Amino acid sequence: MLYLFSGTDRDKARTALERVLGKTTGDVVRVTDAHTVADVSAALAGSGLFGGARTVVLDSLLSSREGELRDILMRELPHMKESTDTFLIFEG
């Protein structure tokens, strides 16, 4: 499952994200534009063979100064759509 939270009112978009996040169960992984390429890749790789479904919050990766983070996210969009994990993308 893939959700995108965006808009000119960052507070309203973040509130909507937090509302959805509050309804999820299982592990939550948060990745921001301050993380490394390796961190983003690991978060998008999945929870592994014995891990359960996760909720992954991707915060401001598309607007990151680090272009590689944006490239990884764009490349992995089809995988995220089909994954058993839930992905919440926040962009202001």
- pLDDT, one tens digit per residue, over 12-47 is 999 999 999 999 988 999 999 999 999 999 999 877
Looking at per-residue pLDDT, the higher value among 53 and 27 belongs to 27
Residue 19 CB partners (closer than 8 Å, separation 6+): none
| pLDDT more than 90, % of the chain | 72
pLDDT band of residue 48 (cuts 50, 70, 90) is low
Chain center to CA of 19 = 15
Distance between CA atoms of 40 and 84, rounded to whole angstroms?
Answer: 18
- In this predicted structure, what is the pLDDT of residue 45? 87
- In this predicted structure, what is the pLDDT of residue 37? 93
- In this predicted structure, what is the pLDDT of residue 82? 87
Per-residue pLDDT, averaged over 58-80, amounts to 90
- In this predicted structure, what is the pLDDT of residue 26? 85
